């Protein structure tokens, strides 16, 4: 026997695997062209499982511990090789170490947007991403279904398949949950737990266990974000009319702080001034309606003639037919319609003296008469 044959056929007396990586899932002990000595020492560390394979068939499985290999603890391999008791010759077999630790901080995310139907915004495209943790919980199933007889098997070899399964399952759950986009950020934990339970069956079929699943963020397109911001702002201001006035006033203020240059900006400034004037006029028109509430009560207001309770938007009393609105007269100078009780015209400022007094007897008479009806004195 030559020196080369001696090294080629050397016997293996110690079988173990020290894992110094973070992503190695399966490692095949290098026994090619070598024979394992009966009585060799097998060391299986915590978070490992050792599997003996004979000619492509799974033989014996060893949990964590230290073993002296004999026909006693290799019953399947003994049967496959038809060994008799007391057999102590070297033998050939493949030994696979399966890493059963948890592989943490594995990232997942939607490659393409997921389309969901939202009660507030209709059809919305969303994206989501997060992290998950998994481990091998059934070494035999994992060997048969996933890695076969590869020399080594790392997480990169299977992570793509796991991510596709996660995105598919999460998309179904998101559609079935029917959670509003406005409320979805407060339901990350609930969505993670539901997804974890749903995907467990898929992972178990590969000999794996999905240990944890986290949803870190769910995002919507920019136009939907803007719509959410507007809706939030409206919730703060509440009244649409007040909000519109506020926005216009803010725009006018900005225009005032940035004086225009040239005719175009001057025109914009004039337009802003006109808009501001219109808002103020509208506010003044509506102000008396807001202030004149002395006759209001829980059931409406009272007719000033008969006292019947009527709604605030009525112009005539349904009971007596009296006009609810204050009587109108024309200004003595500009003919604008004003309330009869006004002493000055709010448009032109002219005093509204509609009565005259006789200088002799003091009798009050309508404005415009020429002689006193009481004493006959001429009215100046």
Domain limits for position 335? 302-347
Q: What is the number of structural domains in the chain?
A: 4
Quick one: 14 and 66 in the same domain? yes
40 falls within a domain: yes
Q: What pLDDT sits at residue 75?
A: 80
Please provide the average confidence, as pLDDT, over all residues in the chain: 78
Task: Place 280 in a pLDDT band, splitting at 50, 70 and 90.
Answer: low
**CA 320/CA 303 separation, integer angstroms:** 9
Across the range 56-78, mean pLDDT stands at 86
Last-in-domain residue among 36, 68, 99 = 99
What is the percent of the chain with per-residue pLDDT over 70, rounded to a whole number? 74
pLDDT in tens, 235-270: 655 555 666 666 676 677 666 666 555 444 545 555
**CA 9/CA 31 separation, integer angstroms:** 10
Question: Has residue 188 got a pLDDT over 80?
Answer: yes
Q: What pLDDT sits at residue 8?
A: 46
Q: What pLDDT sits at residue 62?
A: 93
Smallest CA-to-CA distance from 51 within 96, 14, 18 is with 96
Residues in the chain: 380
Task: Place 283 in a pLDDT band, splitting at 50, 70 and 90.
Answer: low
Question: Has residue 229 got a pLDDT over 60?
Answer: yes
Quick one: 110 and 213 in the same domain? yes
Question: Has residue 298 got a pLDDT over 50?
Answer: no
- Contact, 348 vs 339, CB < 8 A? no
**CA 303/CA 297 separation, integer angstroms:** 12
Apex 139 CA angle, 144 and 159, nearest 5? 80
**CA 88/CA 348 separation, integer angstroms:** 124
Q: What pLDDT sits at residue 25?
A: 92
Query: Can you state the angle between helices 159-177 and 188-204, rounded to 10 degrees?
Result: 130
pLDDT in tens, 41-63: 999 999 999 999 888 788 889 99
Task: Place 6 in a pLDDT band, splitting at 50, 70 and 90.
Answer: very low
Quick one: 58 and 124 in the same domain? no
253 falls within a domain: no
Quick one: 336 and 360 in the same domain? no
Quick one: 112 and 29 in the same domain? no
Distance of CA 347 to the CA centre of its chain: 55
Question: Has residue 161 got a pLDDT over 50?
Answer: yes
Quick one: 83 and 127 in the same domain? no
Task: Place 222 in a pLDDT band, splitting at 50, 70 and 90.
Answer: confident
Q: What pLDDT sits at residue 291?
A: 37
301 vs 100 pLDDT, higher one: 100
**CA 46/CA 65 separation, integer angstroms:** 8
359 falls within a domain: yes
Last-in-domain residue among 59, 82, 99 = 99
Quick one: 144 and 75 in the same domain? no
109 falls within a domain: yes
- Sheet of strand 11-15: strand arrangement: 11-15, 35-44, 65-68
Across the range 61-72, mean pLDDT stands at 89
Q: What pLDDT sits at residue 287?
A: 44
Task: Place 137 in a pLDDT band, splitting at 50, 70 and 90.
Answer: very high
294 falls within a domain: no
200 falls within a domain: yes
Q: Which residues contact 13 (CB under 8 A, 6 or more apart)?
A: 37, 39, 40, 41
* DSSP string computed for 160-193: HHHHHHHHHHHHHHHHHH---TTTGGGGHHHHHH
267 falls within a domain: no
331 falls within a domain: yes
What is the value of pTM for the model shown? 0.57
Alpha-carbon distances of 99 from 14, 132, 184, 189, rounded to whole Å: 19, 18, 37, 29
Quick one: 133 and 84 in the same domain? no
Across the range 89-106, mean pLDDT stands at 89
């Amino acid at each position: 026997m030559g020196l080369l044959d001696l090294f080629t056929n050397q016997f293996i007396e110690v079988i173990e695997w020290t894992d110094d990586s973070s992503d190695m899932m399966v490692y095949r002990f290098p026994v090619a062209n070598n024979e394992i000595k009966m009585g060799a020492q097998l060391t299986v560390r915590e978070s490992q499982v050792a599997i003996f394979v004979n000619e492509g068939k799974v033989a014996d499985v060893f949990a964590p511990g230290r073993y002296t290999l004999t026909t006693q603890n290799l019953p399947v391999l003994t049967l496959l090789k038809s060994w008799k008791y007391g057999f102590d010759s070297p033998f050939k077999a493949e030994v696979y170490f399966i890493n059963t630790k948890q592989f943490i901080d594995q990232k997942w995310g939607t490659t393409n947007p997921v389309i969901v139907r939202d009660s507030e915004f209709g059809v919305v495209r969303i994206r989501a991403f997060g992290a998950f943790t998994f481990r091998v919980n059934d070494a035999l199933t994992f060997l048969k279904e996933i890695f076969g007889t590869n020399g080594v098997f790392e997480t990169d070899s299977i992570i793509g398949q796991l991510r596709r399964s996660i995105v598919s399952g999460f998309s179904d759950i998101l559609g079935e949950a029917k959670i509003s986009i406005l409320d979805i950020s407060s339901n990350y934990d609930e969505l993670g737990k539901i997804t974890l339970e749903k995907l467990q069956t898929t992972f178990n079929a590969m000999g794996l266990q999905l240990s944890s699943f986290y949803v870190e963020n769910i995002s919507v397109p920019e136009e939907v974000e803007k719509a959410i911001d507007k809706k939030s702002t409206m919730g703060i201001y509440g009244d649409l009319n007040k909000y519109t006035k506020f926005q216009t006033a803010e725009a006018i203020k900005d225009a005032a702080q940035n004086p225009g240059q040239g005719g175009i900006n001057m025109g914009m400034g004039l337009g802003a001034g006109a808009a501001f004037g219109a808002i103020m006029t509208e506010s003044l028109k509506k102000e008396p309606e807001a202030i004149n509430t002395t006759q209001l009560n829980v059931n409406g207001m009272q007719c000033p003639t008969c006292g019947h309770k009527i709604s605030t938007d009525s112009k005539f009393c349904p009971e007596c037919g009296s006009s609810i609105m204050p009587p109108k007269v024309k200004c003595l100078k500009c003919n604008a319609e004003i309330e009869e009780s006004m002493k000055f015209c709010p448009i032109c400022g002219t005093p509204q003296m509609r009565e005259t007094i006789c200088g002799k007897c003091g009798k009050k008479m309508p404005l415009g008469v020429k002689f006193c009806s009481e004493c006959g004195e001429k009215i100046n």
